[in-house]
Amino acid sequence: TWATVPLAPPDSIFKLTAGFKADAYPQKVNLGVGAYRDDNSKPWVLPVVKKATEILLNDPALDHEYLPITGLPEFTSAAAKLMLGGASAAIGEGRVASVQTISGTGANHLGALFLSRFYKWNGDKTIYLSNPTWANHHAIFKNVGIEPVDYPYFDPKTVGLAYEALLEAFSNAPEHSVILLHACAHNPTGVDPTKEQWREIADVMLAKKHFAFFDCAYQGFATGDLEGDASAVRYFEERGVPMLVCQSFAKNAGLYGERVGALHVVGATKDATERVKSQLSVLQRSEISNPPSHGARLMSLIMNNAELFDEWKGDIKTMAERIISMRKELHRLLTEELQTPGNWDHIVKQIGMFSFTGINPAQSQALIEKAHVYLTTNGRISMAGLNTHNIKYFASSLDKAVRG
């Protein structure tokens, strides 16, 4: 039995966490997985989450019953509002089918599965993914029989957006193509389109009747502002681009292990949206029956209480601002103190959790092997892993790797 099962390689991101944990080197640095750390390299339980947990634990009515198949209604409605905005026409007209999912990965999966079954495919089932993208996107779509196709995104020459090539790819794609867009804080590059570029992207999407599959894992993390980070999603909804949105509360609420997220599918009519929701419910039932309750209860408390909500916004700012200050400091160290060869302006221009350093796989490997600095071989670093204690060590290790 199982003699023919091939050995699979370890996950490219989580193997770094395991390697880091097993490493006894005192100055080791983990810049692999996108998980926030405080200035002492420790996971940070958001104060607002602590408060909400207390409230939950002291609630005499708390039980351990099943949630509805599509999730906790107070959570999904607040999550939709957080993403699409209180003034969203789609929400007002009952045109958003929201389902609680196993964080962003589960939302991507359920969205992919739903499209695979019900989207009016124009030929083969394909999804356009940015090159590069989060490695898991490829696996998620392949799992449900949708073949990923790359679209240009990153220009190594400018370490910025390959904007013209992206627009051309969207224009040349067959009508009704499904295109995955990172709503903000693109993973792994940290490079986002500007407002004006989003406008033109929406123009092309509408002209070609493309479907926008938004993945939004970092709302609030990009700029510290929940509203601003949702602006591309909200703009597309306003313009009437057919779309769905995958939402995660792992990063912006520090709820990595609770697996709390949502999928929002925007429909053209209330009636169509109800039918969509009924099918999402059937799919969800066969896969997980009911989503987990704890994280959804926490987020429901936080999002539906004005005081807690404000406190959460403050916590998000704390995280986003610490990351931004690390970007500035790394840039300063490389350009002023170490005079590292090359241009490092992208470190401060990129946004969100990650920075795409532009170093090559050999240099990334050298950082891991020689300096015990863990990062993905594509040169992505999680800025959240840097702090005032390790940033000098990292900058000088990077400097050495670049000089060869």
- Contact footprint for ligand LMR (CB under 6 A): 13, 33-34, 134, 136, 187
Q: How far apart are CA 379 and CA 191, in angstroms?
A: 14
Q: Which is nearer to ligand LMR, 99 or 353 (CB)?
A: 353
Q: Which of 229, 251, 315, 344 is catalytic?
A: 251
Q: Which of 44, 134, 198, 312 is catalytic?
A: 134
Q: How far apart are CA 351 and CA 332, in angstroms?
A: 17
Structure-block tokens of residue 330 = 């790394």
What dihedral angle (degrees, nearest 10) is formed by the CA atoms of 10, 135, 220, 33?
A: 20
Q: How far apart are CA 392 and CA 25, in angstroms?
A: 16
H-helix segments, 41-72: 47-57
| Amino acid present at 260 | V
Considering the complex, what minimum distance in angstroms separates the CB of residue 187 from ligand LMR? 5
| Angstrom distances, CA of residue 49 to CA of 185, 272, 323, 359, 396 | 23, 36, 20, 37, 36
Q: Which is nearer to ligand LMR, 53 or 136 (CB)?
A: 136
Q: Which of 28, 44, 51, 215 is catalytic?
A: 215
Q: Which is nearer to ligand LMR, 108 or 387 (CB)?
A: 108
Considering the complex, what minimum distance in angstroms separates the CB of residue 208 from ligand LMR? 29
Structure-block tokens of residue 318 = 């704390």
Considering the complex, what minimum distance in angstroms separates the CB of residue 380 from ligand LMR? 8
For residue 195, indicate whether it is catalytic. Answer: no
Q: Which is nearer to ligand LMR, 95 or 380 (CB)?
A: 380
Considering the complex, what minimum distance in angstroms separates the CB of residue 104 from ligand LMR? 7
- Contact between residue 392 and residue 400 where contact means Cβ atoms under 8 Å apart: no
Q: How many residues in the chain?
A: 404
For residue 251, indicate whether it is catalytic. Answer: yes
Q: Which residues face 214 on adjacent strands?
A: 181, 245
Structure-block tokens of residue 84 = 């699409």
Q: Which is nearer to ligand LMR, 20 or 134 (CB)?
A: 134
Considering the complex, what minimum distance in angstroms separates the CB of residue 33 from ligand LMR? 4
Q: Which is nearer to ligand LMR, 34 or 190 (CB)?
A: 34
Considering the complex, what minimum distance in angstroms separates the CB of residue 262 from ligand LMR? 16
Kindly state the DSSP code that residue 212 receives in the 8-state scheme. E
CA atoms within 13 A on the CB side of 235: 20
Please identify the residue of the shown chain whose CB is closest to the bound ligand LMR: 34
| Catalytic residue annotation | 134, 215, 251
